[in-house]
Amino acid sequence: MTYQPGSEQQQHGPLEGLEQWEEFVKVRYPEEGAPVEAAAKLPEAFRDYRAEARPSVKEFYRLNHANQSLDFVLAKKREYLPLRKRRMSIWTAMEFLNTLVDDSDPDTDLSQIEHLLQTAEAIRRDGHPRWFILTGLIHDLGKILCLFGEPQWAVVGDTFPVGCAYSDRVVFPEYFASNPDAAVAEYQSPCGIYSETCGLEQVHLSWGHDEYLYQVVKHYLPEEALYMVRYHSFYAAHKEAAYGHLMSEHDREMFHWVRGFNPYDLYSKGEDRPDVPALTPFYRELIDEFFPAELAW
Ligand code: FE
Ligand code: FE
């Protein structure tokens, strides 16, 4: 599908908008010390995220877990990672992402640019380095995959390794039963096609906006930032400590940064709506400090 300026971009999938997945993750992983609703007052281990998830979110995970096979991931990498879809600046990619039309309420829900600015501003307020602020600004630009016609389940959702046994710490693990990989004997052991502590660089995760953006920006940001971009949706690892047997010592050290980034992504929403025109000069300068005028996407 090619992008037509001004045309209605429909999202392919059961979610009303990509935010519905993030809202679910926030319920699954509530902020520590935050005021909680009555249903969330039970100890986390006893909370049933299945009961709390909306039907559209369940259907989204069913599709994600059924279709994200090793073959699918390799096919998407062959399709996208030559980065020959288009050439554009970071700012143009932000504006492009903002054309994503979803069914959520435009009066109460933030636009994609607003989510990016809100994340970046929360990082900036805490006095973090400029590369960290910039990472907040760009971390979800890989969602432009939706505008290239990818279904929601191939753009967002918690990522997980393919080609090895599924962890039951991935949400809705029961949906993996209908993934074609569940019938491949070689993939059923904890390491599957990988070897113990081989490092995540060797491991194929389910396809989505994290890996795509990592490949676009990998020459321009410090390694800590690249880990945040590449693994921010790998909740089973950074929130649940699953898949440690595939991680290297270096991955473990770098995941400190992935965990440090997560609160800004999940919990900066709902704060004041950012003033986009007022913030634009600061962020344009920040982008120019790290990125060339055009990148390959
Ligand atoms: Fe994201
Ligand atoms: Fe995000």
- SS3 track for 57-104: HHHHHHHHHHHCCHHHHHHHHHHHCCCCCCEECHHHHHHHHCCCCCCC
**Cβ-based neighbour number of residue 242 at 10 Å:** 19
Q: Is residue 11 part of a domain?
A: no
- The residue range of the domain holding 150 is 19-296
Q: How far apart are CA 62 and CA 46, in angstroms?
A: 22
What are the residues whose beta carbons fall under 8 Å from the beta carbon of 137, sequence distance 6 or more? 94, 116, 117, 119, 120, 283, 286, 287
Q: How far apart are CA 206 and CA 153, in angstroms?
A: 10
Q: Is residue 104 part of a domain?
A: yes
The partner residues of 296 in beta bridges, in order of sequence, read 87
**Coil, helix or strand for 263?**
helix
Q: How far apart are CA 94 and CA 11, in angstroms?
A: 17
Q: Is residue 125 part of a domain?
A: yes
Q: Is residue 3 part of a domain?
A: no
Q: Is residue 107 part of a domain?
A: yes
Q: Which ligand is nearest to the CA of 235?
A: 1
Q: Which ligand is nearest to the CA of 110?
A: 2
Which pLDDT score is estimated for 1?
37
Model's pTM, two decimal places? 0.91
Which pLDDT score is estimated for 150?
97
Q: Is residue 5 part of a domain?
A: no
Q: Is residue 12 part of a domain?
A: no
| d(CA 153, ligand 1 centre) in Å | 13
Which pLDDT score is estimated for 108?
64
Which pLDDT score is estimated for 5?
45
Q: Which ligand is nearest to the CA of 210?
A: 1
Which pLDDT score is estimated for 100?
86
| d(CA 229, ligand 2 centre) in Å | 10
| d(CA 183, ligand 2 centre) in Å | 33
What are the residues whose beta carbons fall under 8 Å from the beta carbon of 86, sequence distance 6 or more? 297
Q: How many domains does the chain have?
A: 1
| d(CA 185, ligand 2 centre) in Å | 35
- The number of helix segments (H) and strand segments (E) in the chain equals 12, 2
Per-residue pLDDT of the chain (297 residues; tens, 9 = 90+): 343 444 445 568 999 888 899 889 988 998 876 554 444 444 554 457 888 889 999 999 999 999 999 999 999 999 999 999 999 999 999 999 999 876 666 566 778 899 899 999 999 999 999 999 999 999 999 999 999 999 999 999 999 999 999 999 999 999 999 999 999 999 999 999 999 999 999 999 999 999 999 999 999 999 999 999 999 999 999 999 999 999 999 999 999 999 999 999 988 876 688 999 999 999 999 999 999 999 999
Nearest by Cα to 68 from 253, 208, 220:
208
Which pLDDT score is estimated for 44?
54
| d(CA 260, ligand 2 centre) in Å | 14
Q: How far apart are CA 36 and CA 179, in angstroms?
A: 35
Q: Is residue 7 part of a domain?
A: no
Which pLDDT score is estimated for 8?
43
Which pLDDT score is estimated for 17?
87
Question: Chain-wide mean pLDDT for the chain?
Answer: 90
